[in-house]
Amino acid sequence: MLTLLSALLVLAPVGSPEARHAEKPKVTCEVSEIRSPQTPRRRHSFRATRIVELELEVLVHGRSKHERRLQLRIYTPRGFLYQVLELPLDGAASRRRVFEARLPVAGTSIMASGLYGRFKVVPHLDDRREPCGRGRSFVIKP
């Protein structure tokens, strides 16, 4: 048994989990704007009957040598996860990048189930529990 334990220790990766995690370059992100082609810019409240979709703009700062994924987790007014929008991040791109995702509204369960109120978009990298930056709220009215 001691031999088996010694063999496992030899095969274990060197360094603590924190040290391995610190080797990755720092990438941060923030939801910078939420808009609809059917409404003027700089709104945080939208009427579901007047828009087709929302455009979510995200700023990503930093570079990574590895292929990464940006997840935009959208929460309902009651705090339940409504949808996850995924975008691939190219590690070779510039240090500051802008990404856009679209959230359909017309013909979705937002209107069919009356999911009106304050939604929240929170950015995450690679299925991590902690957000990679600042999220943003928006309101959908009937």
Confidence (pTM): 0.78
Q: Express each pLDDT in 49-75 by its tens digit.
A: 999 999 999 999 887 777 789 999 999
Alpha-carbon span 127 to 124, nearest angstrom: 7
Residue 100: strand pairing partners:
57
The contacts of residue 57 (CB under 8 Å, 6+ apart) are: 31, 32, 33, 34, 35, 98, 99, 100
Listed in sequence order, the DSSP H helices in the chain are: 2-11, 17-22, 109-112
The contacts of residue 60 (CB under 8 Å, 6+ apart) are: 27, 28, 29, 70, 89, 96, 97, 98, 99
Contact 78, 119 (CB under 8 A): no
Q: Express each pLDDT in 96-129 by its tens digit.
A: 889 999 999 999 999 999 999 999 999 999 989 9
Phi and psi (nearest 5°) for 38? -90, -5
Domains of the chain: 25-141 (2.60.40.2550)
Q: What angle do CA 54, 56, 60 make, to 5 degrees?
A: 175
Mean pLDDT, residues 84-91 taken together: 86
